[in-house]
Structure 1
């Protein structure tokens, strides 16, 4: 158990390091925070906090920085909510517009979080096995291209652009879409590929001239759809964090962002703990390539009867936890409320 003095000194060290990314010394603490203790007393307490594993000494300075254990302790015992009224109003405005799909709301929430925190965010939609195909629509883009818009009953949208060669007519494309709408509407997205092969392809082979090319194109679109529930915003924000001035470290991080499959481990199951989850460095992260000084703050929300999604903020372990935890919690609560309201209206 830490004393009140040790807690105060520890709190100021964490918050100073979060703000400056510079190791914190006893003289700075005494002068900047007007502590009523001598520099020697503060040094002694810092040494004790280091012995207990809450602080670490860097090689380049006599100051201290928080350890992984220290960040965990800070989050679990000293965190204070920090969302001002202006930000709350921004969030309310985002969720007051009901003329958008759930997927659009989640993506815009992701964008808002990255803008407010100046960090990277990732959203994971619900498991696609609980989404059903609602409609496929064709929209001409020009003389040689068309986009197919695939929509699920959860408001998830996927676009697939087809560049039409001379061998493929617009009539063939329209016939494909009509066959799929007649055969596949109401099918879970994860089952569409099998049903395409089993039920749709035989019909297309009879009614559509270039059926093989079109069949493969739509099959790829649906396979991508079932895997495309990972959405990032603000990837570039990590470039401006001093922790990632090291080129090798930055390369690893960028590679992690490109590997969407790694982030699937953040996808919550229906039995997972509710509320905000804070992962700080090391083995708690979804990466397997030696990235340690990263924290991920996540919250989950129900997207259907058996499906859950999540939204997370990714940043250095030196991130403003009080602000980020509060924002993630606020956004998550609003997403879940919106989804419940939409389901109740159906």
Structure 2
């Protein structure tokens, strides 16, 4: 069996199984695909694919279905990610261009991605640690209360309130605001840690409690476990995929409810234009029959991204179409945040 034909047979099996949800037989492949060989030859090819663990026979008299390993080879061999139609591109532009702030952008993005892919969409909020500071404001709320406002280049706004035992000196507040903006302007927030830790020593002893409190709040905001969060949409799409799971979809729903699980999966994915985790590649028992397609957004290169977005669904997924939708939405979202 030639290597090229084996890949063609595998591709045809994946495409037919994704389209029909039915195990694929050799006669069906011959009828639907111009493979140029007889059913007997196809059967031999399928036997070899099965021997290599790329397809499996769910029942004695049935056709074959792709395995996780087969899906992985199929995804790795995809030469061109399916582009979106002109109508889909216009839908992205119209929906996201009307967003009024970051929260609105994220909400619109996650709904759009769920609609485009018919899967569960997941969008991670831009990480403070990987964002660049645009401005930091200190707003007195009362003689002993101070509001710390962090504004990033992605439009994310984080607010923290500080209460002090002594009355807050407006002059110290103004000086502290100026120094913080000099330290952080145009820099990624995670690069400010050393300066924030040293900042209290630059003020008189009687003012250090306030400066220390502000520095601690900023450092706390930069801790990844404290500021990471995600938004979901399209969970109802799982109900339409119930037959794709040998067990109930309960474990998948439970995993979706645990934000820490999804954040961990996102963090473990490669920083590629589009990354795919298939079935057993997800290190979580509840997602052993699910696939995740994700991309970073918010940077000129994947390594510069501020967060991830993606979709989760059964391994029987339209990978070219899903990868195209995820890539397109990530790119458009990056342009919006850059603007």
Q: TM-score normalised to the size of structure 2?
A: 0.68
Where does the alignment leave 5 or more consecutive residues of structure 1 unmatched?
none
Paired residue for 1:115? 115
Check conservation: 2:18, 2:317, Cα contact below 8 A: yes
Report the CA distance shift for 1:87/1:2 in structure 2 as closer, same or farther (over 3 A).
Answer: same
Paired residue for 1:319? 317
Check conservation: 1:280, 1:296, Cα contact below 8 A: yes
Check conservation: 1:130, 1:307, Cα contact below 8 A: no
Paired residue for 1:236? 235
Check conservation: 2:289, 2:315, Cα contact below 8 A: yes
Out of 83-92 and 252-261, give the one that drifted further: 252-261
**1:134-213 alignment runs, 5 A limit:** 134-136=135-137, 138=139, 148-160=148-160, 172=168, 178=174, 180-186=176-182, 187=184, 188=187, 189-190=189-190, 195-200=195-200, 206=206
Q: 1:265 aligns with which of 247, 268, 272?
A: 268
Whole-Å Cα distance in 1 between the matches of residues 198 and 172 of structure 2?
15
Report the CA distance shift for 1:63/1:256 in structure 2 as closer, same or farther (over 3 A).
Answer: farther
Whole-Å Cα distance in 2 between the matches of residues 194 and 3 of structure 1?
55
The alpha carbon displacement at 1:224 in A equals: 4.6
Paired residue for 2:293? 297
Check conservation: 2:154, 2:337, Cα contact below 8 A: no
1:143-165: CA deviation from partner (whole Å, max 9, x where unpaired): xx997532124433223467x8x
The alpha carbon displacement at 1:327 in A equals: 0.9
Report the CA distance shift for 1:35/1:207 in structure 2 as closer, same or farther (over 3 A).
Answer: closer
Q: 2:304 aligns with which of 291, 297, 307?
A: 307
Whole-Å Cα distance in 2 between the matches of residues 63 and 35 of structure 1?
19
The alpha carbon displacement at 1:250 in A equals: 4.8
Q: TM-score normalised to the size of structure 1?
A: 0.67
Where does the alignment leave 5 or more consecutive residues of structure 2 unmatched?
none
Paired residue for 1:83? 84
Whole-Å Cα distance in 1 between the matches of residues 261 and 173 of structure 2?
32
The alpha carbon displacement at 1:116 in A equals: 2.2
Check conservation: 1:253, 1:291, Cα contact below 8 A: no
Check conservation: 1:136, 1:149, Cα contact below 8 A: yes
